[in-house]
């Protein structure tokens, strides 16, 4: 399968036995829209049946990143226009692609070079071989817009060491290559200057032959992870039962980063924080990625259909860009005690998996 549209938002081509997918919206840091998701899914469907394709390689055009996330502005427009069906259709297609990547019978190698956030994690985080570089910046920043991590993000966060998952999910803080490998979001660090050589090696298939063995020829040891070094105060604070108690513990810690983290949390949506805490913790007990995606799908539609903070967060960050969201409620103390259970108990009108 070779792409007849060289300027398409996803470039699809075969390089020998390597099926090569390139997200091609560099001015938007390759942010995903529904057409891109459908194009990726169609290519994977075709290549699964193509005996000439043995490996799939996914990367992003430009030098800024693999993928900055999903089309959040489009989500805003759908919610404001009162089109929840369109919202559900987008997330069903995206989550089906996330699961497809995780379950694909041929190895998928993803180059998470540069910014890889939100929906980009859904593409990179579930692949068979996940590569980061010295330029990588990974995050699940959904709480910054009054939302909650999705695209299987809670599955990854729930399996991070200690309470790193709660920390990353609630704060939306970024990971460099060392952090991403430590937290379980990536497998190998390959210098950005070696990516072209890695691509050539995958195409020519010089011995050794498996993608992982080939990647190891270019792999470098990541430096120390700041997340690993911060485990004492992160594990202590983020083991608390509630967001309010997490903030209280952070304020009591002597580390300057702990106090700075408390300040971050105090600026974010109380609803988004409380629901995210509940979602990450429940994801630890779920049996597989599909179950986590199902949980996230319900949460996404709960936010989209009943919670003003999502629209307000997108407005403040991306529409008016005043960076001054007015959360409802504005204080953690004003949340119902069972807000997490309410959100997790929401049943979408259309199921994710048919």
pTM over 0.75: yes
Most distant CA atoms of the chain, gap in Å: 61
Three-state secondary structure call for residue 345: coil
**Catalytically annotated residues:** 70, 119, 142, 150
Task: List CB contacts of 87: < 8 A, sequence separation 6 or more.
Answer: 75, 78, 79, 300, 301, 304
Q: Which of 7-11, 111-115, 116-120, 329-333 has the lowest mean pLDDT?
A: 7-11
Q: How far is CA 60 from the centre of its chain?
A: 15
In angstroms, the CA 318 to CA 312 distance is 10
Determine the length of the chain: 354
pLDDT band at 249 (very low <50, low <70, confident <90, very high): very high
pLDDT at 208: 63
> C-alpha dihedral over 190, 194, 198, 204, to 10 degrees?
-160
What domains are defined for the chain? 10-344 (3.90.226.10)
Side by side, the strands of the sheet bearing 137-139 are 65-67, 115-117, 137-139
pLDDT band at 209 (very low <50, low <70, confident <90, very high): confident
Tokens of 314: 């997108």
């Amino acid at each position: 399968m070779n792409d007849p549209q060289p300027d398409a938002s996803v470039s699809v081509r075969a390089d020998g036995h390597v099926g090569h997918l390139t997200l091609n919206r560099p001015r938007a840091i390759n942010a995903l829209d529904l057409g891109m998701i459908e194009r990726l899914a169609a290519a994977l469907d075709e290549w699964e049946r193509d005996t000439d394709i043995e490996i799939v390689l996914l990367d992003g055009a430009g030098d800024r990143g693999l993928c900055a996330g999903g089309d959040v502005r489009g989500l805003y427009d759908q919610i404001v226009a009162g089109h929840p069906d369109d919202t559900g259709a987008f997330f069903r297609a995206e989550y089906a692609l996330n699961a497809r990547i995780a379950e694909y019978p041929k190895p998928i190698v993803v180059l998470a070079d540069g910014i890889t956030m939100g929906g980009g994690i859904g593409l990179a985080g579930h692949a068979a071989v996940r590569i980061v570089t010295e330029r990588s910046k990974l995050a699940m920043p959904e709480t910054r817009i009054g939302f909650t991590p999705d695209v299987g993000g809670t599955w990854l966060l729930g399996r991070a060491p200690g309470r790193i998952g709660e920390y990353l999910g609630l704060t939306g803080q970024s990971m460099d290559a060392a952090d991403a490998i430590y937290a379980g979001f990536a497998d190998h660090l390959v210098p950005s200057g070696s990516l072209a050589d890695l691509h050539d090696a995958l195409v020519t298939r010089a011995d050794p032959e498996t993608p992982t063995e080939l990647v190891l020829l270019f792999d470098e040891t990541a430096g120390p992870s700041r997340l690993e070094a911060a485990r004492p105060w992160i594990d202590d604070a983020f083991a608390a039962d509630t967001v309010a108690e997490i903030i209280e513990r952070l304020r009591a810690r002597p580390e300057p980063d702990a106090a700075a983290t408390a300040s971050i949390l105090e600026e974010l949506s109380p609803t988004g924080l409380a629901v995210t805490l509940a979602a990450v913790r429940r994801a630890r007990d779920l049996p597989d990625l599909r179950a986590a995606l199902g949980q996230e799908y319900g949460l996404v539609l709960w936010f989209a259909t009943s919670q003003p903070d999502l629209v307000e967060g997108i407005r403040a960050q991306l529409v008016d860009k005043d960076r001054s969201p007015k959360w409802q409620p504005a204080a953690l103390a004003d949340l119902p005690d069972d807000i997490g259970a309410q959100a997790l108990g929401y049943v979408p009108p259309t199921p994710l998996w048919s």
